[in-house]
Structure 1
């Protein structure tokens, strides 16, 4: 079999030319569009259904397409070369934007790191061995009362060759106990210290934020001393995922990671550690979210900013790179329709790999349901292996580098994060800012912005707030043990508010009647919109398809529900809408909603008197569903 590099001219049929035509240019027959052409075309699309007096200018049209994240990073609809540096730099050197480590073409370009937190020792021991036999290259174990007990760590890792597999521990309740358990294990192994790779998972500021206690950095240096000779190991981790899971966006996840890392460097230097060693004593645990471009840009931005801190401090250039362990977003996982989490995990893992993470953990798709089982663990593991070994994602250094969007987004996140980092510095550093409640106040604002985006489905959740599956079979998972209560950061998944609505409905059998007027071409679109909305809460949506006013009322009565929704086109609304609305109200409908706009009914005053509310794109579905469940008498 020939390849492009081995093929010779004798392999080419004689009737096939081997010379490129002079002046040949791909797509050369088409005119080169300008940015003005694109803006005009965008305006033409957005103006299609707008009346002449409300036509948008090209600039206004582009403005409509522009959006902002919860932390005010602007996302433009089009990016150009303007403002993007031509000097992209190289991986492995300052400013490390393109990578801290250099990928050299191997398939295993990052550590496939599996998280284990199942307290059942036999299950976890078997799962650990299965992971390592089938492609996982490093382990992350959470040691807590609701996870693995520190005293069980030895048995859980009994089958593991510690000089072949990297091991990291973490704890939300007792980081010292977790670190001691791992250290005792590796010290008793008799292995060459230089051959072992461990991380003790110590994160004093993260622990303080999680538990709502004062941060204690006084005893950090002795942990570095205890790892003397373990040249591939580090005692500390800056866990930025806890900020993400508490509501932080891309900007503050980076900013607070930088501020925490700098606090650790200062504390270690004050305790007698050389600057370079202090700077190199930690890794960063970061989030990989479903926003692939933001994830790629955020990982690049963190490396740039951390390298800049190292430059200002005077750290040796080759020690300034930030090593990142990316974890797919727990906050974005859904309990309902959990198989969609496979897609979320794939996108997030891809983003982390392209963004240059040194290690990646893909959370199993049933994580939000309970303790992951064998199937979900296998899917999580194979997601990474397929991306690495079949899609060859890791063979290239910084494949997104040079794209105008990624470079611009990297700059914007880095600049905004640097400003937020300086705000923390002005407050006295991360320890002081945490004690003052600065992160808590910022998180409250970010969570309120995100709540609005989720409730209005500007940030849709497939399978939960969009296209919910009301007949899905429940996954057979073991429940998680109850976690000890903390007084610090509150973790929330984005889907929780919708899951609470589904739980409230439960198996009550409650329904909302859809009065579909006219023919299917009249009501089809709005019937689909309305049914999708009410299915979010698990409500049934019986309907009628056309018919006279009396037939519509009779169909509504047969359902026994006090809530009805008119669904049709503006034309049919003008002909029949008010008549049907009046009849339904007279028959006893307590709540009558309209899919569309009141003005489509033709008589604003009468419409307002009959219609209790409207549903359309951008409506607060949480408010609509909460009110509907109240009307139906479903207990809170």
Structure 2
């Protein structure tokens, strides 16, 4: 028998609980774990963390954290979506292969298997514009929207594409001509002049076709934070609005010609909040311009390039799935999932298939797109959205005070992004920002797939960072050495005493490509030294418990020295005679690895 809702109270029999009650319970648990917060408030603070935008993420949220003004889907301020109803997002696949025949084959396979729009890279770093007709051979341009990415050749690419459609007697099915002079300048450092208004007027002749892309991914790829990416994008959008309206377009016409492109990362909640905050910000701009009903931002999400790894590339499938989920749940209109082998070169058919099926799984099987704004109403997501939008708006005002996006690209934006990347780099080095399969749980025996080299993107402009880059460079350096350099793990005492720290040390050294050789469960310094000699290593690391270190660390370190160890590490903390330095959670793993490489004489 079905129980009616009014007859069933899930909270019946339970006393009412408050945030203070939870904080007191958390305080007790923390004290039992060895932490010593002085009050419930300090307990909550100790469980909080701060993002790179200095936004505090708390361990607990309640109705008091809910900001006002999220609205409803499809209406200003569009936080809950630019569309009033849910529905599948546009599955947009990127193609940059320079061979037009292989591109055509890949494009047709994509369109036959779930892709709904195409993103074509033309010119430097992609397909030669002269080959566009061959690459789009067999493509129904009146059914498949095409987004162009031609950089300085945008005007010529737009002409070629529109001529191609006209020659086939069809009108383009939408898409974007890709005019983005400030984004191109951010990527390459080269100022480019494009007739935005002229392109906008041409695009306006075809329903659904836009002329202007605000690509915010160069700011993300330079190591910027989410709010910095948002602020740069809104500042760029404002610059384009000024250019279009100065050329005679109305505000409404100008707004209808602009699409925004953002990076989606494996941090699903920040990704959801970022896309919601972006719509809030753009709606605020439209309202300030006198067109509040036209501020529904059109968003294209691209899974982050910075987070992709060349090592253990299969893990990228998990990263892009989380990023796609975050973008879809956050309300992106179109989503591009990068193939898992993107860091290795040009993707193959299998990698593109997995990228397509990531969308299909989330949309068809998981039902992520069945409702509009599935995260809406979550106290955590709503608060995070509002805080992220506030941080981005502050950054936007800094850019505007500097003279706008164009002027800020001279100094303000690069310096701000560099400072954020320095903070993130420190966390990566200390492995508090872990990269699975690289800085954590590396697989030295992996067999990576081989891929043809991808065309090099245009140089200059903002840097392109890789979260895994510093560790992967060391892995490459270790791979070139013959034999592979190794570190001896001097495991002192029984297995139960040394296993945790031996595993920690092995994980750290292997993150740099160094092999580890573990000794037996011994305490005799002479026996451990003999194992060290047989290992062929020149560096050793003591692994055991604090209690056993007190008795055995100094004599074992001395024996290892006599056996030829150039450096003796210790996994743990504390000062011990004969030990050069210690490894511990939160230590600078890159510093440890560089020092070890030098000790082992590994060539750069």
**Residues in 2 aligned to 1:418 and 1:42: alpha-carbon distance in whole angstroms:** 34
| 1:74 paired residue among 52, 56, 59 | 56
Query: 1:26 and 2:10 equivalent?
Result: yes
Shift, 1:75, TM fit: 1.3
SS in 2 for 1:114: strand
Question: In the comparison of the two structures, how many residue pairs are matched?
Answer: 601
Query: 1:444 and 2:418 equivalent?
Result: yes
Change (3 A) 1:115 1:536: same
Query: 1:43 and 2:27 equivalent?
Result: yes
2:227, 2:391 within 8 Å by CA — same for their partners in 1?
Answer: yes
Stretches of structure 2 that go unaligned for 5 or more consecutive residues are none
Query: How far does the alpha carbon of each residue in 1:600-627 deviate from its partner, in whole angstroms, 9 at most, with x for none?
Result: xxxx4xx2x4111100100111111011
Query: 1:616 and 2:577 equivalent?
Result: no
Shift, 1:86, TM fit: 6.0
**Residues in 2 aligned to 1:443 and 1:86: alpha-carbon distance in whole angstroms:** 31
Q: Which residue of 1 aligns with 2:378?
A: 403
For 1:10-25, what aligned pairs fall within 5 Å after superposition?
17=1, 24-25=8-9
Q: Which residue of 2 aligns with 1:572?
A: 548
| 1:119 paired residue among 93, 98, 114 | 98
Q: Which residue of 1 aligns with 2:571?
A: 595
Query: 1:244 and 2:228 equivalent?
Result: no
Query: How far does the alpha carbon of each residue in 1:354-379 deviate from its partner, in whole angstroms, 9 at most, with x for none?
Result: 00011000000000111100111000
For 1:459-538, what aligned pairs fall within 5 Å after superposition?
459-484=433-458, 486-508=459-481, 509-538=484-513
For 1:116-515, what aligned pairs fall within 5 Å after superposition?
116-172=95-151, 174-191=153-170, 193=171, 196-214=173-191, 216=193, 219-315=195-291, 317-435=292-410, 437-484=411-458, 486-508=459-481, 509-515=484-490
Q: Which residue of 2 aligns with 1:7?
A: none
Larger deviation, residues 253-262 vs 164-173? 164-173
1:81, 1:404 within 8 Å by CA — same for their partners in 2?
Answer: yes
**Residues in 2 aligned to 1:288 and 1:569: alpha-carbon distance in whole angstroms:** 42
1:172, 1:210 within 8 Å by CA — same for their partners in 2?
Answer: no
Write out the 4+ residue segments of structure 1 that deviate beyond 4 Å after TM superposition: 17-23
2:540, 2:567 within 8 Å by CA — same for their partners in 1?
Answer: yes
1:179, 1:202 within 8 Å by CA — same for their partners in 2?
Answer: no
Q: What is the TM-score of this pair, normalised by structure 1?
A: 0.91
1:103, 1:394 within 8 Å by CA — same for their partners in 2?
Answer: no
Change (3 A) 1:267 1:55: closer
**Residues in 2 aligned to 1:343 and 1:496: alpha-carbon distance in whole angstroms:** 19
Larger deviation, residues 610-619 vs 582-591? 582-591
Change (3 A) 1:529 1:163: same
Change (3 A) 1:408 1:595: same
**Residues in 2 aligned to 1:473 and 1:292: alpha-carbon distance in whole angstroms:** 29
**Residues in 2 aligned to 1:499 and 1:537: alpha-carbon distance in whole angstroms:** 7
**Residues in 2 aligned to 1:334 and 1:21: alpha-carbon distance in whole angstroms:** 49
**Residues in 2 aligned to 1:297 and 1:19: alpha-carbon distance in whole angstroms:** 36
**Residues in 2 aligned to 1:327 and 1:206: alpha-carbon distance in whole angstroms:** 15
Q: Which residue of 2 aligns with 1:12?
A: none
2:189, 2:462 within 8 Å by CA — same for their partners in 1?
Answer: yes
**Residues in 1 aligned to 2:456 and 2:147: alpha-carbon distance in whole angstroms:** 23
**Residues in 2 aligned to 1:415 and 1:542: alpha-carbon distance in whole angstroms:** 51
**Residues in 2 aligned to 1:328 and 1:525: alpha-carbon distance in whole angstroms:** 35
2:75, 2:84 within 8 Å by CA — same for their partners in 1?
Answer: no
Q: What is the TM-score of this pair, normalised by structure 2?
A: 0.96
Query: How far does the alpha carbon of each residue in 1:376-395 deviate from its partner, in whole angstroms, 9 at most, with x for none?
Result: 10000000011111111111
Query: Over aligned residues, Cα RMSD in angstroms?
Result: 1.7
Shift, 1:83, TM fit: 3.6
**Residues in 2 aligned to 1:421 and 1:309: alpha-carbon distance in whole angstroms:** 11
Shift, 1:595, TM fit: 0.3
Q: Which residue of 2 aligns with 1:9?
A: none
Shift, 1:64, TM fit: 1.9
Change (3 A) 1:495 1:181: farther
**Residues in 2 aligned to 1:19 and 1:544: alpha-carbon distance in whole angstroms:** 64
Shift, 1:34, TM fit: 2.3
Q: Which residue of 2 aligns with 1:58?
A: 40
